[in-house]
Amino acid sequence: MPQYCRVEGDRCTRFYSMGNEDEKDEYETKELLKLGFATVDWEDRGAHQTIFDDFDTPQHFIQLKAVQGALASVLPNGDDDASELVMMLEDLNPKLFNALGSAVRALSAAKTEEDFAHVGISGRRYVEQLADALFPASTVPFNGRDVSAPKFKNRLWAFIDKSLPAEAPNRDNGLRSLGREIDRMIDAVNALLHGQPDQQSALRAFADLAKLTIALLQLDPAASRQPYRAFEQKIVDFFTQHFEDLRRGDGADAP
């Protein structure tokens, strides 16, 4: 079923696709406000639910269910917590969900030290992709931090620093708290590279990593959702093929 809206407290967000603002229905906005929502906003969902969307296939939902089942075994409220966690991450950034999902599925089947090492590599790659999505690499330092491509930890810290409002109460404490959690999660992922940890402990680490991802994405939802990022290669391939077909057609018609 297509998504109708996202509800966060008394805020409702409705969707439109591919920049088509004609899909906005102001009558629906008024009706939703009458239901008691304080605000009703509109969000461009990019290529979600278009021909470019690879995240609405049976294979994707099978993966979603597998990840949910794995995380449910280590979360306090089991399947309820896992369902909410997976749904939020998949909604905020399906490409990141796929990367984390691959690591969790590999971990569920891991038995040997080599298996766990490969899971650690996948987890580290996920953290790097998270940094790329939130704070792309730059040769220009940010507040004294080296934010070049290899310094993905610094880039995650820089994202928090950039996203927390200057006037936010206890801003420094918030920065340190989230930053320390980043450091802890990176250490937990790196530990997988150097031994055979308890599988349940490793699953808890990935569940914590999913929670941290959501916390970071929600610091600046408009900037971090990047609704076209997950589909950019399919969009580029589509138009490349289209222009190539046109070129060949022009060539065939030429004298």
Calculate what percentage of the chain has a pLDDT beyond 90. Answer: 16
Query: How many whole angstroms separate alpha carbon 15 and alpha carbon 40?
Result: 11
pLDDT tens sequence across 178-212: 999 999 999 988 888 776 667 888 888 888 888 88
Whether pLDDT at 3 is above 80: no
Highest averaged pLDDT of the listed ranges 2-6, 129-133, 156-160, 237-241: 156-160
Task: Read off the DSSP letter of residue 140.
Answer: S
Query: How many whole angstroms separate alpha carbon 201 and alpha carbon 207?
Result: 10
**pTM of the entire predicted model:** 0.69
- Hey, is 141 helix, strand or coil? coil
CB atoms closer than 10 angstroms to residue 12? 21
> Is the four-CA dihedral 124, 100, 45, 234 of positive or negative sign?
positive
Query: How many whole angstroms separate alpha carbon 112 and alpha carbon 59?
Result: 27
| Residue in the block written with tokens 């950034």 | 93
Residue 225 has a pLDDT of 61
Residue 159 has a pLDDT of 92
Residue 214 makes CB contacts below 8 A (sequence gap 6+) with 85, 88, 89, 92
Contact 54, 238 (CB under 8 A): no
- Hey, is 66 helix, strand or coil? helix
Q: 171-191 and 152-163 helices cross at what angle (nearest 10)?
A: 160
Burial label for 133, CB within 10 Å (0-12, 13-18, 19+), is buried
The model's confidence at residue 56, banded by pLDDT at 50, 70 and 90, is low
Residue 155 has a pLDDT of 95
Residue 194 has a pLDDT of 76
Average pLDDT taken over every residue of the chain: 81
Contact 226, 96 (CB under 8 A): no
pLDDT tens sequence across 4-53: 777 877 888 888 777 677 777 888 888 888 888 888 888 777 666 666 66
Query: How many whole angstroms separate alpha carbon 174 and alpha carbon 99?
Result: 27
Domain ranges of the chain: 1-53, 54-222
Contact 96, 89 (CB under 8 A): yes
Residue 147 makes CB contacts below 8 A (sequence gap 6+) with 135, 137, 138, 140, 141, 154, 155, 158
| Residue in the block written with tokens 């996203």 | 163
